[in-house]
Amino acid sequence: MEMRPPRGALLLVLHAHLPYVRHPDDEDHLEEEWLGEAVLECYLPLLEVLERLAADRVPVRLTLSVTPTLLAMLEDPLLVSRVGRRLERQRALAEREVRRTAHDAELHRVASFYQARLERLAELWSVRHRGALVPAFAALADRGLVELIASGATHGFLPLLRTSARAVRAQVAVGVAEHVRQLGRRPAGFWLPECGYYPGLEQVLAAEGLRFTFLDAHGLTDAEPRPLLSVHAPAFTESGVAVYARDPEASEQVWSSEVGYPADPVYRDFYRDIGWDLPTDALVPVVGPGRPRRATGFKYHRITGRGPDKAVWDPELAFARAGEHGRHFVQRVQERTRALVTRMDRDPLVVAPYDAELFGHWWFEGPAFLEALFREAARVGLSVVTPADDLQAWPEAQVVAPVESSWGEHGHASMWLDPVNDWIPQALHGCAQMLAPFADAPRLDQVDERALVQAFRELLLAQSSDFAFILRSGTVTAYARARVQAHLAAFLELVRAVRAGSLDPLRLHALEDRDPVFPSLTLGPFRE
């Protein structure tokens, strides 16, 4: 097979994930709002950008991982209805804000911007997508704009689950199965939660028919033998799974709070919010009576600089700057790959993976950056590819053994293995040991099996890397600890009840009802 001449390419990956948070008994649960925020600030704007690009016939090839927990929440009628309610509250707040800021031209312009934006989002949510974003993502994949890849069932950090091979296999297998069930297609690739890799994990991926995954840069550059093409080409592992490595410069350009694009002074400041600035009474329509203050999404100021004094945000200026940054990003990729193309016998790649929630939530102007990036890439002829495109074009690569790594702090596991959260992997290991003999049992009573499947579900939920992360980062630690404890307690309750023959069907039903995630779950993925 004759190869075409190499050319530089960008491989852009967005990883969309939220932990499973569902509290049916609390209408205004603070942590449940993460989903509403992400839908209105990230997912809807991303869909809007991609569809606009497609309408303008701009070539788009985006690699997108959507985790099973996020897919499950996006399909949950209760949570979807609450997202809709949040949108209505936001629209009502926008109306109030337009009135409140009428005396101040600068603030009023921002309030009017929010109002118009929310009207557009409401149209997208209710009319265009009818509250169903999962089919919208699937449709993008059908149209060839997006390559959807799978991820861990509950985003378990696999290097810390490795003491139980079953637990690792289950995270991968359930993740793939849920991807197939919810998106209707087999994934070719897998996003390792937190880019957490350890030697041997590729065999688990290979067993699920997964062809590629992503590592942080040092996972590949420290591989044995050293990869000849550094992070600019994939390498094969012995199992045949290809690994792509995150490009450090591309990461820093977008992630860094010091020198990255989102730190530009004209961009909207994330922290200043009327939820903290306005009197409590004025917030009642948004946060509810007697509820603590919380961010509303109405932010009137720009980063400006260090210190608390902030200038008023100018949407026009900010979105123009996002366009500049998108073009600058493409220009840098071109410069770098142009220098590499003469030294490589394949396409030199810049692999740029990011959390999808960065664009729109943390970096409000992020979706505009993405749009400008794709438009500029099309204009200058920079190829934007997915791993499947790349591996089909260049099926030969060096064989290496990557090293244990993650994209967390210091590149390893310290974020998820620390004195504040190291009780979690210990407990998870014990639970996996408890469940193993039941999973291997040749025959189970029907109700017992239901209970054990629910126990398995609880175990998967307790494995989420997000809770350990929160405990370490010190944000909403009480919630994170309570969540892990609740899942562990439910697991133990169910397994002990099965063992003792004292299962309460009503209690089982209540637990199933509490977290109805992975409805097709069986003990199969946990079997030896």
Partner 1 sequence: MDDLKKLSVERLRELARKHLGKGHSRLRTRAQLLAALTGALKVSSAGAADPTGAPVPADSRVRVVDFPPGRKGRVRAEHTAPKGGRRGRTAPPSGSGSTPRTAAPVARQGAGGGGSNGSTRGAGGNGSAGRGDGSGGARRPRAGAAPSAAPASTPGPVAPRVEPVVEEAFFETPQMPRRQRHTPVPLEQPEPGPLASPREVGTDAPLLLVRDPTTLFVFWDFRRELERGAALGLREPRVLLRIYRGADLDRSLELPLGARSTYVSGLASGEEYTAEVLLLGRDGWTRPIGNRSGARQLPPGRLEVRTLRLPWSEPLGRGPGASAAAPGREPLDSPRRLTLPSSPGARGPGHGPSPSGGPRSGRN
Site for partner 1 in 242-301 (CB under 8 A): 247-249, 251-253, 255-265, 269-271, 273, 275-276, 293-295
Residue 89 interacts with partner 1 (CB under 8 A): yes or no: no
Of the candidate spans 122-130, 442-450, 463-471, 507-515, the one that interacts with partner 1 by CB under 8 A turns out to be 463-471
Told to judge if 194 belongs to the known catalytic residues of this protein, a careful annotator would answer yes
Say which of 33, 51, 178, 194 is annotated catalytic: 194
Give the residue with the Cβ less far from partner 1, 312 or 434.
Answer: 434
Phi, psi torsion values for 30, nearest 5 degrees: -60, -50
Give me 479's structure tokens. 């919630």
Residue 392 interacts with partner 1 (CB under 8 A): yes or no: no
Residue 26 interacts with partner 1 (CB under 8 A): yes or no: no
Told to judge if 88 belongs to the known catalytic residues of this protein, a careful annotator would answer no
Burial per residue of 238-275, b for 16 or more beta-carbon CB atoms within 10 angstroms, e otherwise: eeebbbbbbbeebbebbbeeeebbbebebbbbeebbbb
Give the residue with the Cβ less far from partner 1, 124 or 462.
Answer: 462
Q: Are strands 242-245 and 235-236 parallel, antiparallel or unpaired?
A: antiparallel
Q: Of the candidates 179, 218, 268, 346, which one interacts with partner 1 according to CB under 8 A? A: 218
Radius of gyration of the chain (CA): 24
Give the residue with the Cβ less far from partner 1, 232 or 450.
Answer: 232
Please name the amino acid found at residue 473. S
The DSSP result for 440-503, as a single string, is H-S---HHHHHHHHHHHHHHHHHTBHHHHHHHHHTSSHHHHHHHHHHHHHHHHHHHHHHHHT--
Residue 115 interacts with partner 1 (CB under 8 A): yes or no: no
Q: Of the candidates 434, 449, 497, 507, which one interacts with partner 1 according to CB under 8 A? A: 434
| Peptide bond between residue 225 and the one before it cis (omega within 30 degrees of 0) | yes
Q: Of the candidates 312, 403, 444, 497, which one interacts with partner 1 according to CB under 8 A? A: 403
Q: Of the candidates 303, 351, 452, 460, which one interacts with partner 1 according to CB under 8 A? A: 303
Give me 153's structure tokens. 């069932």
Helix H or strand E encompassing 65: strand 62-66
Binding to partner 1, residues 148-207 (CB under 8 A) = 159-160, 162-163, 194, 198-199
Residue 117 interacts with partner 1 (CB under 8 A): yes or no: no
What is the pattern of x (binds partner 1, CB under 8 A) and - over residues 45-84? ----------------------------------------
Give the residue with the Cβ less far from partner 1, 83 or 378.
Answer: 83
Give me 426's structure tokens. 């210990």
Binding to partner 1, residues 335-364 (CB under 8 A) = 336, 339-340, 343, 348, 355, 357-358, 361-363
User: What is the distance between the alpha carbons of residues 246 and 253, in angstroms, rounded to a whole number?
Assistant: 12
Q: Of the candidates 421, 452, 494, 508, which one interacts with partner 1 according to CB under 8 A? A: 421
Please give the distance of CA 430 from its chain centroid, rounded to a whole number.
28
- How far CA 366 is from CA of 30, 113, 121, in Å, comes to 24, 16, 16
- Number of residues near partner 1 (by CB under 8 A): 110
Residue 401 interacts with partner 1 (CB under 8 A): yes or no: no
Binding to partner 1, residues 124-153 (CB under 8 A) = none
Bridge partners, 151 (sequence order):
191
- How far CA 451 is from CA of 21, 276, 486, 528, in Å, comes to 21, 44, 16, 19
Q: Of the candidates 133, 172, 201, 231, which one interacts with partner 1 according to CB under 8 A? A: 231
Say which of 222, 249, 324, 355 is annotated catalytic: 355
Catalytic residues: 194, 355
